[in-house]
Structure 1
Amino acid sequence: MPVTLFGREPQVRSLQSAAEQAVAGRGSATLVEGEAGIGKSALLDAVAACCDRLGMRTLRAAGEQLERDLPFAVAGACLDVLTTGGQANRARVAALLRGEGADRQPGAAGHDFVVTEAMLDLVDDWCAEGPVAVIVDDVQWADAQSIVVLHRLCRGIAQYPLLVVLAAAPEPRGDAMSALVRSMTAKGAHRMTLPPLDPQAVAELVEATVGAPTGPQLAHLVATAEGHPLYLTELVAGLERDGALRISQGRAETDHDTPPAESLQAMIMSRLGPLPAQIQALLQRAAALGGPVDLPLLAAVLETPVLELAEAFTAAAGAGLLVETEAGLQFRHDLIRQGLARQTPSSVRGVLHLRAAQALMDRGADVEQIAEHLAQVDHAEHGQWLMKVAPQLTVRAPDLAVTLLRAAAAEAVDEATATSLNIALIRALLWAGHTDDAERVLHDQLAAFQSPATRTQLLELRMDGYFRQGRLQQAAAAGEDAARLAPAHPGRLYGFAAVCRLLIGEFHTADRLAGDALRTGLATGDAIAQAYGHNTLAVLRFAQNRVLEALDLNTDAMSALDQGDATMIVDPLVVRAMCLFALDRPAELDLVLDAAMRRNRDTGGVYLTSAQLLRANVLFLRGLWDDGMAEIRAALDNPDPLRQAPALRGFAAMVAIHRGQARTLDQELAMLAADSPLEAPFTAPLRWAHALAEENENGPAAALDVLFPLWEQPPTFSPRCIGYRVCADLARLAHAAGDTGRLRVLAETTADLLTRQPIDSVEGTAAFCGGLLHEDPSRLLAAAAWFAQAGWPMHEGYAREHAAVLLAAAGRLQPARDELAGAVALYTGLEAMRDIDRARARARQAGIRQGVRGPRGRPKHGWAALSDTEYKVALAVAEGRSNPDIAAQMFLSPRTVQSHVSSILAKLGLRSRVEIAVSASAVENRAAATG
């Protein structure tokens, strides 16, 4: 065991045990905390060696203070994808980090999401191949994006053969790091604080270092280190350099009664003493540049031969100042680098960084490496280079891009250059999400005289900025202003403005602008403008319940997009999915939703949650509630720029209410009726859930008052062509409350909808509403048949339940028993205990005494408890397949698969994917043994 690990045996054993458990299939995370020099890095070295012995894929990295503004610096280094792509999945991450495909993404948040998902998929694939260890030192210096990756790795970690060990100093900690610590702790990660070494460990460490037990005076002196390992080793090394150690009568002793230096920093820096001044000066210059020591770069900066530097740094390594690592030559401890860097005047540091930037430009280095050095210079340099690389730098390191572009624009020598730099600055600010700053710069630029072409650029940027802030009225106006200046693509600008008008409910103006976009696009041959026009008109026709027209227009939009390559602010695939949903075409719908989710996930599109919300809606209606809950859990982890979380929570709440589970509804649900306007987007499912909860609390009339406005005044994005799915609940509530007026409205309006939308589920809805209005069991049985044909089991159960009550009232008890038994069977398949209880209560009131118990429900635990989707996922896991691989086969997202795996583990009472494989094998063996 290395001497620096004396006294750390409990910590080593704990981490070794965690590594062994990861190899067995159950992962865990540990956060090692302690002050600088307490031994965190040495402990990580021991963990890495243990993981190597166990055959784990060991991934290591360390945070660098100078790279905190470089997105994914730590995560990229840990996964070894920053400099070379390697295998295919690594190559994709490397390409994303270079900014490839970023032009299709809406901003830094979207790009970060895509990179994060790709990195998680990469680790997921590795975990399917074998156990993986992720070990990161100095995580307090990690960039925010890497911290998100680490946070996501630790979520659900117990499923995987994955060990995550992070080491951090107590301070400083930014918001992202503090959030990571809270999240890890909440999810059961082990927090390991390294204490000072106890006296026995101190004695053993010193004895191993000097080769003899300590004498009384040396023991007294080392006690001043208070068990701090780095202080101890530096103190002993300093005594040795001073010739103040001697071996007497088998013991190491000294005549000193005070440490050779006053502080740890001074002790470390005392290692410089024996080195020539020239070598000390070289070390100071290397430290000032930061990071690992790059000998060729330093040679270029100092105009010194590499061999001469190598000789000097070999001597520095011999003095214990530098060490050779996998990442190259580095200072043995950051305290050394910091102390040396402070000895270099700031003016000299600026010159060094400027020379380093030039040398990196000459060697064609990555733009972010060059920018890191330019950012350390106190005046703007290389403005032409900066303008050339601004798009790439904006994607790779947006905060650096903003800093450099702002400085360069302020010092530009002519107005044209300043304008070009400011336009690049605005783009960088918008990409990074600094919309208020972008607007201020835009305002100043528009106030100055500009050519029509430049003014168009600025107006387009303003349009983009307003849209990102949700200021759609201003975004539309800016788009229309830009289009009137006769730019290269006016049709696209009209199309953009049309969508903005659409989203704020100005349908007439949106219709006109969409027509302008389409006409202009056809006249100029601009396929994107045509797609905007067709697709926006499709949404408008959909909102007008003209679904077939909407689908035809969407088809034209999709055809136009085949001719171009650009993103739109309304996704044609999601619009198509909405049309197919309204038309009850499930096979096509599943394929389109899968394509929409994959494209948005791969491009950082804002409609990923929209597609998952629609899928959750479909699964809810089909009665696949466990699958729907997995989709909802995955979607709630996504970025949510359109604020669709209320709808997701609404569907989850409806499942909970139907299943009679403890009412754990969000405060958002409880306050909805009072605080949420009816027209607010994406609140319809939440209002629906609120109505069901209100029925439980205050009866059907109160619930009807909550829910009926959704049909009476449909929200913009829930028109009657899809909003009719609430009508079965509305009709049964109106019937129970004796509200014949509203029930008649429902019967008439659903019958009218049927003339324009003659599909199974609308047929069933119209028949159900009419059947309850006229209390006609034959209509209700017809409704049940239509709902069965549509595959809507809850609605079918409603129809059978109400038909049974009416049949019993007519004295037809046996048919009543049969229909009620059918309803209970449907509810049982859904585990809808609330509905089973209601059906049984109504049966007793109607005098039906037999045949209403129905079949037993699905077990809560064991393989029989799994849904069909969960069963398929479990078998795929047992085959050793990764989540991305399973997702590709089953038309799911990898995060949805992960959610299914969590549910599978809970139902089977297991702890890891390995245990799923063992359990599946046992089930197969039992099945084979029983024939």
Structure 2
Amino acid sequence: MVSRTAMAVWVGRAAELGALAAAVEGLACGNGAALWIEGEAGIGKTALVARGLAPARAAGYQVLTGFAEPLTRRTPLQAILDLVRICPRSPDPRRARIAIALRERRLGPGEPAADRAAEIELVAGLVAELCVAGPTVLALDDVQHLDETSFLLWQRLLRVADELPLLLITTCRPAPRRRELCALRAAVLRHGNSVLSLAPLTEPEAAELVRGLAGQLPERVRELAMGNPLFLRELAEAARFDGLARLPAALVERLVPEGSVEVLRMAAVLGEAFAVTEVLALTRTAAAELAPVLREAVDAGILLDRGSHLEFRYPLIRQALYDALPTALRAALHREAAQVLAATGGDLPRVAGQLLAAGQPGDAWAREWLAAQATVLVGRAPELAIELLTRDVEHAPAPDEHGAILLLALAWAELSAGRYEQAVPRARHGVAVAPRAGQRAEMCFVLARSLFGLGRGTEAVTAVRQMLSRNDLPVIWRSRLLASLAMFQRAGAGEVEAAEHSATQALHLAESAGDPFGTAYALIVLWANCSVRRDHGTALATVDRALAELRTGGEHADLRAYAEDARLLTLQNLDRWAEAAQAPVAGVSAAVLRYWLGRWSEALAELGPALADFSHAGLRDPGPALCRHGVSALIAARRDHREAAEEHLRAGAALPITTAGDRENRDFLVLARSVLLEQDGEPRAALALLAELLLARRPGEMSLSHQWLPDLLRLATELAEPDLALAALTACRAEAGAETTPGRAGVALQRCQGLFDRDPGPLRAAVEHYRAVGAAVDLAASLEDLAVVLAIGGEPGQAREALHEAVTRYRECAAEWDIRRAEGRLREHGVRRGVRGRRGGREVSGWDALTRTELRIADLVADGQSTPGIAAGLYLSPRTVQTHISHILAKLGVRSRVEIAGEVFRRREGAEVG
């Protein structure tokens, strides 16, 4: 963070400096923290941080500072990449590798921007490694300019700051308040950290500051500064020499060396920070001639030398230099700067930013450059791309060849950003005016996907059919549109047979054209059909074939992620949990997996921060969002976290359910609501809710009702509803019978049969199966049901044993409601667990409180492995590993990774002595 508002005299801020000092001192003990510093421009935020971090620098800590500016908001992660010094030319091989990996992530043709989760984890992993090396400070100025992805990354770091020797400092102006900004500020407070609001200096403090600057300002003039230290300083200096009327010009004339004014005006066009090579090209000046001019500006304190670039020390000075240029000249210079940057290999978002500032839509060179770079620009800086493309497209409603490319890129960008309402008319226009058949077909592809995203599936199908009726379609786009049609037919209307026909046609055409995207897209529809029919063996072979196509193509990140999720679901359906646990997935799919494996804290970590903080492009569609809120709600309900469960249920209820895909993703929400109804003493309402969901699966839906049917049968049996109990058993028998390869439904049938017949035999078989495959949640529930059946059959001893194991496993998930329900069911039959050592099974602190995964991670921490290294070795996400480390810290009563290592070493020594 550059001290752009540094004061020659320090006045006030004692309390704020004390908070900074305490945070820096905590780093020495391995305690991380976060500070949020807010106040208007010039109020002294940056100066406060610079002064407060002096002890950290003196102690040899890693202190990395940076700032965000308006242009970085349009470029995902750019401000934070600059902050942590990630660039391809970094002397640090780790940083260089990350920079290259980020640049290699590109959009494949025919798909929206990829999920940014991988980029976030790469950068977060680097920060974790820096913290392993020693206490680290990340200080970021002007976070109000951050892009959405950077907000997510900063939240990611905030959640682990107290587990690492990491101090996060952000400064922010108070308004305007974006939603993400408010969420980040709230998260700082929620994690127990400090928000420092810098108020204006009082009148006595303002007078003291001016006196310290050897200046004199009348009280009425000081009031103009409204207690702002920067304004006071500049007013005092300007008043001494030039008077107030000519403040901006006077500041330039007084502070900027005369010989560098014109060069700095050109530099001001480039932005607050710029490379020397960019100024050389823009001014057409030789390096030898420009060097002394820039050196003079650095010596005068106007510019700061940041190594790879120069930076204006005071935004006020840069703005004064910029404003002195005539408007027409500024536009021409921005246009020229864009051309110069493009010719010298400048970063695409910087070139685009200059074109945007030039305000010259329709410029021939600009359109040609944008047409060539639009696809990459949309992936790198979607917001900037949308703004620039919108201006150019709306300037020329009847597109030429370049215009058609720009219109297509804009439609894709709007689709990728979830702006379906804007993408629909844009794509319709493109279908009507695009000069080439392939462009019209691609526009139709975007149109249909946007309509489907709005829940207008019938219109999407109509649009695709109209395009398919044309005779001039390229084979590739005919196959992709057919695959898209098949997807809508199955996921929208549940028309499996029609989808099968369309997907088969699409597959043949895509294979004949050698199109990996079209081939994989068609195969994924066929996978879905196999899953609906419960032909999981064929489904697995089909999705594996799709993944092979996508790996060969080397692109299409979105579709590849979708295929990985599909494969994970099929492995779960086949009860291949160990293999599923190693799948390279994250987010909602990983959370569902970890739910069934009984790793609920990991599941919640995968789902991200609290509702107020959450924003993610991949969850703008209803399906994944329904599932996300459902898993979160069900875990919260089973853990007796009523408020959190209801919050997620409210959020889920606000989402539309219009397609088969939506209905497939609502089951966790329904189960969570049923649990709350049971807790409220309304089991019949819970039963009716489950029956409505599970006994009315519509044709074409993939909904995996068998995983919940034992819950329905349990309630029906307890409430003496034999017809519903029989209906649940019959439905489960049909599910199991449909499985061409025995899988989860068959084992669920054993549970249902055992409950229905009160026969412990099938339940024991189910318990042994779940124990063998590692399905922890199903195992605990089957043990509970087995205990009830044994108690009814007059075997209280065996019932007590089964109950004890069930409760122990529930406690590993912190499933307090399940423990109460299980004990209540057995109490009705005269069976109680009794006391076995410490009541409740697992300890809550000390080594005995750690789960098997936590023990393993503690050992790896002691061995010096980084968070990313542990994550890779255990097939977990770095976020999940950090969650485990947090639990280890709490259970062992230690404050840092170093202390974890010490505890591990002491434990190992004790074991050797023993």
TM-score of the pair, normalised by structure 2: 0.85
In the comparison of the two structures, how many residue pairs are matched? 881
- The equivalent of 2:475 in structure 1 is 488
1:692 is matched with which residue? 675
The answer to whether structure 1 residue 733 and structure 2 residue 733 are counterparts is no
**Distance in structure 2 (CA, Å) of the matches to 1:226 and 1:554:** 65
Tell me the amino acid that sits aligned with residue 166 of structure 1. T
Q: Which residue, 184, 190, 193 being the options, matches 2:194?
A: 190
Which of 598, 615, 619 is matched with 2:597 structurally?
619
Alignment of structure 1 residues 98-497 onto 2, 5 Å: 98=103, 100-103=105-108, 106-108=111-113, 110-195=114-199, 229-231=229-231, 233-234=233-234, 237=237, 261-262=243-244, 266=247, 269-270=250-251, 272-273=253-254, 279-292=260-273, 294-312=275-293, 321-326=302-307, 328-380=309-361, 381=363, 382=365, 383-409=367-393, 410=395, 415-448=400-433, 450-484=435-469, 485-489=472-476, 490-497=478-485
CA distance in 2, matches of 1:671, 1:203: 52
After superposition, the Cα gap between the structure-2 partners of 1:444 and 1:56, relative to the gap in structure 1 and judged at 3 Å, is same
Give 5+ residue unaligned stretches, structure 1.
Answer: 243-259, 598-607, 809-814
Partner of 1:27: 32
Give the unaligned 5+ runs of structure 2: 1-5
What CA deviation, in whole Å up to 9, does each residue of 1:699-738 have, x standing for no partner? 5443322212333223679757x43222322222222122
Checking the alignment, whether the CA contact within 8 Å between 1:71 and 1:145 is kept in structure 2 is yes
Given residue 511 of structure 1, which amino acid in structure 2 is its aligned partner? E
Structure 1 Cα separation of the partners of residues 789 and 94 of structure 2: 57
2: CA distance, partners of 1:44 / 1:883: 29
My pick for the range that moved more, 463-472 or 192-201, is 192-201
Structure 2 residue matching 1:31: 3-state secondary structure: strand
Which residue, 780, 783, 788 being the options, matches 1:797? 783
SS in structure 2 of the partner of residue 545 of structure 1: coil
Look up the equivalent residue of 1:515 and give its one-letter code.
T
Report if the CA contact (8 A) 1:7-1:201 is conserved. Answer: yes
CA distance in 2, matches of 1:840, 1:417: 71
The equivalences for 1:520-919 within 5 A come to: 520-561=509-550, 563-567=552-556, 569=559, 571-591=562-582, 594-595=583-584, 597=585, 608-620=586-598, 624-631=599-606, 639-642=618-621, 643-655=623-635, 657-658=637-638, 665-666=645-646, 669=649, 680-698=663-681, 700-714=683-697, 719=702, 722-755=704-737, 757=739, 759=742, 762=745, 764-778=747-761, 780-781=763-764, 784-785=767-768, 788-789=771-772, 791=774, 792-808=778-794, 815-831=795-811, 834=817, 836-838=819-821, 840-841=823-824, 845-846=828-829, 856=839, 857-919=841-903
- Match of 2:3? none
Q: Per-residue displacement from partner, 1:418-477 (whole Å, max 9, x unpaired)? A: 333333333344344444333333333333473433422332332344355454444444
Cα displacement (A) at 1:630: 4.7
Query: Structure 1 residues 588, 179: CA separation in 2 closer, same or farther (over 3 Å shift)?
Result: closer
1:88-131, CA deviations, whole angstroms, 9 ceiling, x for partnerless residues? Answer: 542344235546333289534x3544433322222122222222
In structure 2, relative to structure 1, the CA distance for the partners of 1:5 and 1:885 (3 Å cut) is: farther
C-alpha distance 820-731 of structure 1, shift in aligned 2 (>3 A): farther
- CA distance in structure 2 between the partners assigned to 1:41 and 1:661 by the alignment: 41
CA deviation after TM superposition for structure 1 residue 874, in Å: 2.7
CA–CA separation in structure 2 for the residues paired with 1:513 and 1:737: 47
SS in 2 for 1:71: coil
Question: Comparing 281-290 with 896-905, which one deviates more in the overlay?
Answer: 281-290
Q: Is the 8 A contact 2:404 2:435 kept in 1?
A: no
Q: Which 10-residue stretch deviates more, 29-38 or 781-790?
A: 781-790
Equivalent position of 1:252 in the other structure: none
- Asked whether the 8 Å contact 2:483–2:522 carries over to 1, the reply is yes
Q: 1-side partners of 2:203 and 2:433: how far apart?
A: 72
Aligned mates of 2:537, 2:101 — CA distance in 1: 39
* Contact 1:405/1:425, CA 8 A, preserved across alignment: yes
* CA distance 1:693–1:303, change in 2 (3 Å): closer
Give the direction of change, closer, same or farther, for the CA distance of 1:377–1:495 in structure 2 (3 Å limit). Answer: same
Q: Residues 708 and 730 of structure 1 are in contact (CA less than 8 Å); yes or no, is this contact kept in structure 2? A: yes
Q: Distance in 2 between matches of 1:902 and 1:459?
A: 49
Question: What is the letter of the counterpart of residue 724 of structure 1?
Answer: H
Cα distance in 2 for residues equivalent to 1:85 and 1:470: 47
The percentage of counterpart residues that share the same residue type is 28
Q: 1:498 aligns with which of 468, 472, 486?
A: 486
Taking the aligned partners of 1:779 and 1:178, their CA distance within structure 2 comes to 54
Distance in 1 (alpha carbons) for counterparts of 2:313 and 2:656: 59
In 1: Cα distance, 2:601 partner to 2:284 partner: 67
Q: Secondary structure at the match of 2:74?
A: coil
Offset, 1:525: 4.8
Tell me the CA shift for residue 400 of structure 1: 3.4
Q: What TM-score, normalized to structure 1?
A: 0.84
Residue matched to 1:84: 89
1:36 to 24, 33, 41: 41
Shift of 1:78: 0.8
Which amino acid in structure 2 is aligned with residue 863 of structure 1? W
Matched, 1:57 2:57: no
Cα distance change, pair 610–471 in 1 and its aligned pair in 2 (3 A)? farther
Q: Is the 8 A contact 2:338 2:354 kept in 1?
A: yes
1:612 is aligned with what amino acid? A
Q: Alpha carbons of 1:192 and 1:661: their partners in 2 closer, same or farther (altered >3 Å)?
A: closer
The secondary structure found in structure 1 opposite 2:140 is: strand
What is the identity, as a one-letter code, of the residue corresponding to 2:581?
D
CA distance in 1, matches of 2:140, 2:895: 25
Is the radius of gyration larger for structure 1 or structure 2? 1
Q: What is the CA distance between 1:613 and its match in structure 2?
A: 3.7
What amino acid does structure 2 have at the position aligned with 1:871? Answer: L
1: CA distance between counterparts of 2:388 and 2:604? 46
The one-letter code matched in structure 1 to 2:349 is E
Question: Residue 257 of structure 1 corresponds to which residue in structure 2?
Answer: none
Q: Measure, in 2, the Cα distance between the counterparts of 1:275 and 1:55.
A: 34
